[in-house]
Amino acid sequence: FLAAGSESEPDGAWEEEEEEEEEEAARPRRGAAAERRLEGKAKPAGEARKKGKASEHKDQLSRLKDRDPEFYKFLEENDRSLLDFDASDSSDEEEERVHVPPEKLEVASDEDDEQQAKVKQRRASFIPVSLKMVEEWKRAAERNLTPKLFHTITQAFKAAVATTKGDDGGADPSKFQVTDAAVFNALLLSCLTEASVGAAVLQHVNSIVPYFLSFPKQCRALLKVSLWSKGEETVRVLAFLVLNKICRYKKELYLSPLLKQMYIAFVKNSRFTSPNVLPMINFMQRTLTEMYALDTHTSYQHAFIYIRQLAIHLRSAMTIKKKENFQSVYNWQYIHCLYFWCRVLSTIYPSEVMEPLIYPLTQVIIGCIKLVPTSRFYPLRMHCIRALTLLSENTRTFIPVLPFILEVFQQVDFNKKPGRISVKPINFAVILKLSNANLQEKAYRDGLIDQLYDLMLEYLHGQAYSIGFPELVLPTIIQLKSFLKECKIANYCRPIRQLLEKLQENSAYISSRRQKAAFGVASKEAVEQWEKQVKEEGTPLTKYYTQWKKLREKEIQLEISGKERLEDLNFPEIKRKKLNESKEEDKKEFKDLFELDSDSDEENAGFPVKGMGLGLGMHSSCAEFSVM
């Protein structure tokens, strides 16, 4: 085929094509870099050259049709694609379309060199911080801390913090560079993971908070609650001090959004409770209470919204009566929030702004107790009683707490023989409900007596100096006497008898004191003055409570830490009249036992809503709080 074609083709034609190809090959080619320097001119020239080669090839094919019609006909019959040639089908253009990178990469080599040169130049322009510079800044700041000087110091501090991130300084706007460890220690957030380093940084930040307030952007960077809600104890304390100081200086700007962040963080960290987590939850409650105490008007807005949210959850559980609804109330987050708001109102009292919230919060807690009043949820009831006791004592508000304590004496048969012997005591401080197995254990009744004793003593000692104490405690005295007549377990009778005698002694003391009073009950100011004087002098019950509290705190610490209880704990000695106890015990042994099935209340595990008072019956000043 090639021989035939070469014979039929004139020699001059092939020589002409070879000369053209040689000339094309001999043309000097510009380098890629040279073409890029020509910018707009190089690219059109290259395209024209490619189009020129394609048109020449097409002309050769057209001449082939005139010179060798047979060969042209052969191509039409066997390979038509060679004849249907188009400039867009150029292999050079296909190669360019496939292999030529984007424009940004075409100049990557040159720009990369320029970028590296800029980075080296920027690094060279960094000012290394020396100890001499730090000392000069300190002396200048002591004389006159100008905004320019403070900005310079913060830039150096920023460079020191950047070293902890592993930052090379390329993206850092600071003009300084810290390379010496001594300089880093001389300057010294969230990027710090080492507790000791974080504590050191926060200590320095705490001392210069007033200067950070001049720079809102840097100040907002300090308002992070992550260090307050997590991490090591020292770091949490220092983080709180920084947040508290910022809000005390700029309450109107930073307090409201920060309170919201801190409350949400507190709720998230209260999801689970254990002996190890409980101290952190208590710390968050105390510190967040201090933040709410900074401004009562801002605190009222937050407290109103969040307490109403708790009331809405309770209303849903009372009306819908489904498992998921009452679980939204009977959980640790809900209980910790109830206790937290009692602490807030107790701390801020007296306050005309916050006082209207006492009544609705009390109604929510009472409704929580009555939602499922079974023996399984006695631990939850006790948490609610402690919250009400705290609120009643510190706000001088009468809250009927004793009926919820005395009700347990009627529902539980303490004479019933336990079904199983437990190895460890039940830690009521970190549980909300009891299992069926717990209800059969001896440790359940042992712990229950201790809890009832503690709750009654904690509540009544706060009322011990009240002028109406004898009338207040009378139903409790009657109930305790009834319990002692029926109970035959000496270990249960001993603490209750001690409490009963101390209540009777305190009641007699108040009665004798008020008989000497020269004013009537209508004189409110005189009554308050009389109670204040009695409180300062002390009563038999308050003195006994002080001694008991010291011993009880040691035992509680052991319970929280998960250790064994103090088996040899002795209550304070009290003087009482001699009684013929042996005869009394003999009489009790032959009496019929008070039979009460402690498990019968499990059948009535419904959601009683009668007598709740939650809703339209709220305080007149809180009419808008109604959730019913």
Which of the residue ranges 161-170, 196-205, 364-373 has the most confident prediction, judged by mean pLDDT? 364-373
Give the pLDDT mean for 155-170: 63
pLDDT attached to residue 510: 94
| Range in 67-81, 104-118, 282-296, 380-394 with the lowest mean pLDDT | 104-118
- Mean pLDDT along residues 63-73: 75
Cα dihedral 149/155/157/161 (nearest 10): 170
Decide which of 563 and 321 is more confident. Answer: 321
Residue 617 predicted with pLDDT over 70:
no
Residues 6+ apart with CB under 8 A from 76: 83
Alpha-carbon distance of 25 to 21, in angstroms, equals: 6
127 pairs with which residues across the strands? 176
User: Could you read off the pLDDT of 178-191 as tens digits, one per residue?
Assistant: 666 666 655 574 44
In this prediction, residue 408 has a pLDDT band, given cuts at 50, 70 and 90, of very high
Instruction: State residue 346's pLDDT score.
Output: 95
The helix-helix angle for 402-411 and 378-395 (nearest 10°) equals 160
The most confident of 95-104, 191-200, 341-350, 412-421, by mean pLDDT: 341-350
pTM, 2 dp = 0.63
Mean pLDDT of 360-364: 97
pLDDT at 628: 37
Q: Which of 379, 343, 377 is nearest to 604 (CA)?
A: 377
What's the gap between Cα 340 and its chain centre?
A: 14
Q: What is the pLDDT of residue 150?
A: 77
Please say if the pLDDT value at position 13 is more than 90.
no
Looking at the chain, how many residues does it have? 628
Strand, helix or coil at 521?
Answer: coil
Q: What is the pLDDT of residue 409?
A: 93
- 395 contact partners, CB below 8 Å, separation of at least 6: 345, 346, 349, 350, 355, 358
CA distances from 624 to 357, 438, 628 (A): 11, 43, 11
Q: Which helix (H) or strand (E) holds 49?
A: helix 42-67
> 427, 275 in Cβ contact below 8 A?
yes
Could you tell me the pLDDT band of residue 623, with boundaries at 50, 70 and 90?
very low
**Residue 288 — very low, low, confident or very high, per pLDDT cuts 50/70/90?**
very high
The reported pLDDT for the residue numbered 91 is 44
Q: Which of 13-27, 315-329, 363-377, 415-429 has the largest mean confidence? A: 363-377
% of residues, the chain, pLDDT over 70:
65
Judged against a pLDDT cut of 80, whether residue 211 lies above it is answered with no
Query: How sure is the predictor about 97, in pLDDT bands with cuts at 50, 70 and 90?
Result: very low
For residue 499, give the nearest of 484, 509, 485, 521 by alpha carbon: 484
Across the chain, mean pLDDT equals 75
Tell which residue, 169, 181, 176, 186, has the closest CA to residue 152: 176
Question: What is the predicted pLDDT for the residue at 174?
Answer: 63
At residue 165, the pLDDT reads 56
Higher pLDDT, 480 or 140: 480
199-203, 234-238, 453-457: least confidently modelled range: 199-203
Whether cis (ω within 30° of 0) applies to the bond prior to 350 is yes
Dump pLDDT digits (tens) for 19-56: 444 444 444 444 444 444 444 444 444 444 444 556 66
Write down the pLDDT at residue 182.
Answer: 62
Condensed to tens digits (0 to 9), the pLDDT of residues 534-592 reads 999 999 999 999 988 888 787 767 765 554 444 334 444 444 444 444 445 444 433 33
What pLDDT is stored for residue 195 in this prediction?
A: 63
- CA 486 → CA 503, 576, 597, distances in Å? 20, 22, 15
